[in-house]
A and B are shown apart, each in its own frame.
Chain A
């Protein structure tokens, strides 16, 4: 028997209150029928005896205390899944909106997923070559990793994400697919991604979930969960390697804040709810590789740092959960360096175990350490030069300045070029020849003999010379 509740006792923003309910259970889905024939879906967020609070995803516009009939479905928010889901476009709740009919579900899954047992995880070790030097060499992306891009409004994070998708060598394999979740992005950004996927000829391997900027904000809270449920299905049931792109996490967090404050919860920093960390973790931790399964879920969440402030709660908490971050830099973006990767704060935590002999090349780790260390010194030299002028610098600082310039222009600012791992590493050594051997304190002699010395000749050929 299905009970239908007629009328509501309160409407407050996206929350509605029902009284006299006996069959509700926590976190279950409800469907609401309005008098005009339209229907809404919602979720139970609080129960107190026979009073229950429901969060309505599509918003409460047009709802009144009398005209709504509510049915409790007795199951949590589910997504319909089937192998045919590839190539489809879905709305923020995982329902098809591409006019190609509904998905005939092979199975239905709870969007909240369940935490992966740490014992069942396989430690990720296989690197994904992206063809972008600053990422491949200095913050290597590993299959099963969650590596966010910290960007700001107006910077080229979307271009970078597309370039990664196009060039990532997982794209060669048949078992590769992309799940793209847009949360509060502009229509043309979604269009840009769609066109780029089409251009890269991967459209039939993409699942798009769109919650655009003008879509209901509460639906946004479900969008990444639905996307990750699709990704888990494709990865662990169908053995595919999945790259999940979540953009823009900032919109997601703001939706969460709006929802939290409408519930009257005690706010934490900058008004975000105290559970923002746990909430973000429940998304990001759904990346990984499982024992006995062939597929993997790799996440690239994109977030725009409000005011380019990396200490803002959203990038801050994200950085604490994800396994590193790629930070984009506005001043580099302004002088036309693409991709404008800010090297020093960028980091990949899983990199150390996925590079080196047997994975990439034996010199990878020492080289990246040395590039980091030398580039950090460049910053000191720059700071000094801004005070006393570049002319007054000591010869070794001048050398560093020259190295820094070439490094930024050629190594980081590679443009829309696909570099192999060897090309990237060799270029790194060529640049290091601008510095005297004695200053390279992160590399031991055997590696220096093998890579640093031969690079000198190549550097001369390529016109990289000591000033």
Chain B
């Protein structure tokens, strides 16, 4: 059937009349073969959203089916790569069209010429189920790539290739499925981006995603397999926080999606991640990272797809038994892409022009974050951290509000903290994590029995401070009694010395949990001693005069991460100095 273009309106193209195309089918539009996807079908017309600029397209040009839904190719060669929103490798595009991205360029997502060093683990006679691993290859020095049987395929192995070097297009094994049909297995497989990859079962999230960021690990932890939102106006440090998490969190695989954000930021991520070494493996951070860059000036429809591309890649690595983390910066741009396309389709708008299906799309996406038992019996997880860019810094707008409903961790960035250059500018009063209860056992077993208790006390002091500051704002701090002044002082230590963290300081950029606990203990110990002094009627000015608070504020810089015994000296100093004053 010959389908031809009838109307063109921005990225939305229609074909007149009934067609043989199916919903969500991928198509090539026009003479330039622009990639598109079928998004609406009725008897009068077929509507297609095009992932590239449509300038130059004319009615009458052909529309050709690509033979399936919009899919990504999964196999060795994903890591260390940088893709656009529909998995076109940007370095290959650069070779093709130079510094600027041309239209209608196609490039294989995975390098077809690389010979991978394959170990075939399946044997003739084995019965392989969907998701079972049949071969492995070291994809990067840090990650062993495990090739799995595509979900939906199973059967008895009737032939395997010997161990050796193969490209992704060479057959590795052959199966005979129960109906007697032969299936060939390759290193790579395709999977539609809008369909979650199947799992055996979902497991409760009980392990934290350790990030080395104190305000996150201690105050508002995220579980492996959980979802978190970082909302914040411009300049509050969303991207900075996302970068820090991508660099330091203890996931095996990082999928970083730059969705409608700045080009220079992606360049920065690319160069920085290549230079840094992973503290756990000692290898380059890029070895476990894949970047998806659909910057704000790249076509808007591909921006909508980029989120799904990212999470499908993350799920693929989860299926191998890895813990993957996906950073999406920013989901608001994705929602705006939805709005833009919805507007072109002349759909009835809901809140602020967003389509009425915004909440269900957000839910579908965030629900793909999970801790699971895979089809092949391994355990893996996908954690999702989505940045939200609320318009006018107004958290009541639809994207923030709906995201809040589907994520259990909320790191609210605060403009006034950012103005004071308090980074990470996560507001401790507005943020929350519902994972605290699920994770407390893990903290009890792996960090320290008093971790959660210390955290509660810290949070309590900060809460007290915020209500005291209400009074201070009205009448000044002089009128407060000494015990309340002490709360304000110690809260300052917590804010500046603990919550605030310097991403550019070599020691402070990543802090292990043991040190986080130790720092809390020192601060609380100091507070307890000072409370005793205050109740012994010793004036607060003298207590401040001891210089202990200033010492604690700087301990994050002064105490190296591998010399925690110095903090024991601090305890001693506190005891000595306060005892001296009490006498």
Contact = CB atoms under 8 A, between A and B. Distances in A.
Interface stretch (A32-40, A93-101, A380-388, A458-466): A380-388
A441 B496 contact: yes
A11 B349 CA distance: 28
B100 A115 contact: yes
Nearest to A77: B55
Interface in B58-80: 58-60
A173 B6 CA distance: 53
A261 interface: no
Contacts of A123: 264, 267-268, 271
Interface stretch (A187-195, A209-217, A315-323, A399-407): A315-323
Contacts of B271: 123
Contacts of A277: 260, 296, 333, 336
Nearest to B303: A278
A49 interface: yes
Contacts of B422: 373
A438 to B, nearest CB: 6
B94 interface: yes
Contact of B473 (A76, A377, A387): A387
B266 A118 contact: yes
Contacts of A325: 234-235
A124 B264 contact: yes
A362 interface: no
Contact of A372 (B352, B391, B421): B421
A324 B267 CA distance: 17
Interface in B412-445: 416, 419-422
Given A118-B267, A123-B268, A267-B353, A113 B82 contact: no
Interface in A358-417: 365, 369, 372-373, 376-377, 383-384, 387-388, 392-394, 397
Interface stretch (B136-144, B169-177, B339-347): B339-347
A345 B419 contact: yes
A233 B59 CA distance: 32
A353 B504 CA distance: 10
A288 B264 contact: yes
Interface string B322-350: 00000000000100110110010010010
Contact of A26 (B57, B263, B416, B473): B57
Interface stretch (A54-62, A279-287, A421-429): A279-287
B33 to A, nearest CB: 15
A26 B93 contact: no
A196 interface: no
Interface in B294-312: 295-298, 300
Nearest to B234: A319
A290 B9 CA distance: 32
Contact of B476 (A116, A286, A353, A393): A393
Given A113-B100, A372-B420, A118 B295 contact: yes
Given A114-B100, A319-B235, A345-B419, A274 B336 contact: yes
A291 interface: yes
B476 A26 contact: no
Chain B interface residue count: which class?
35 or more
B550 interface: yes
Interface in A304-354: 311-313, 316-317, 319-321, 323-325, 344-345, 347, 349-350, 352-353
B59 A278 contact: no
Nearest to A273: B343
Contacts of A317: 391
A345 B236 CA distance: 10
Interface in A431-463: 438, 441-442, 444
B391 A285 contact: no
Contact of B8 (A46, A122, A275, A373): A46
Contact of B55 (A76, A145, A266): A76
Q: Which of A22, A115, A116, A376 has the most CB of B within 10 A?
A: A115
A444 B99 contact: no
B295 A266 contact: no
Given A115-B297, A117-B90, A291-B99, A324 B235 contact: yes
B91 interface: yes
Contacts of B352: 268-269
A24 interface: yes
Q: Which of A236, A265, A286, A365 has the most CB of B within 10 A?
A: A265
B206 interface: no
A254 interface: no
A316 B392 contact: yes
A46 B59 contact: no
A73 B555 CA distance: 69
Contacts of B101: 114-117
Given A25-B58, A277-B296, A278-B300, A266 B100 contact: no
A121 B154 CA distance: 45
B301 to A, nearest CB: 11
Interface string A1-44: 00000000000000000000011111110000000000000000
Nearest to A318: B234
Given A269-B391, A388-B476, A344 B100 contact: no
B267 A26 contact: no
Contacts of A24: 58-59
A26 B235 contact: no
Given A268-B353, A275-B300, A444-B557, A285 B295 contact: yes
B478 interface: yes
A444 B558 CA distance: 9
B478 A394 contact: yes
B9 A122 contact: no
A49 B100 contact: no
A278 B475 contact: no
A46 B9 contact: yes
Contacts of A442: 421
B296 A274 contact: no
A162 B419 CA distance: 27
B551 to A, nearest CB: 11
Given A278-B296, A285-B262, A285-B263, A120 B98 contact: yes
A25 B263 contact: no
Contacts of B550: 438, 441
B7 interface: yes
A50 interface: yes
A22 B6 CA distance: 11
Contacts of A23: 58
A392 B478 CA distance: 9
A27 B55 contact: yes
A383 B472 CA distance: 11
Given A117-B93, A291-B99, A320 B234 contact: yes
B391 A384 contact: no
B7 A49 contact: yes
A76 B56 contact: yes
A24 B58 CA distance: 6
A49 B55 contact: no
B295 A236 contact: no
Nearest to B239: A349
A48 interface: yes
A119 interface: yes
A265 to B, nearest CB: 6
Given A48-B6, A285-B263, A320-B234, 13 more contacts: A47-B8, A110-B55, A114-B100, A114-B101, A117-B98, A266-B349, A268-B353, A277-B336, A281-B297, A284-B296, A372-B421, A376-B419, A438-B550
5 contacts: A120-B98, A344-B420, A376-B419, A384-B476, A392-B478
Interface of B: 6-10, 16, 53-60, 82, 90-91, 93-94, 97-103, 233-235, 258, 260, 262-264, 266-268, 270-271, 293, 295-298, 300, 333, 336-337, 339-340, 343, 346, 349, 352-353, 389, 391-394, 416, 419-422, 472-478, 496, 504, 550, 553-554, 557
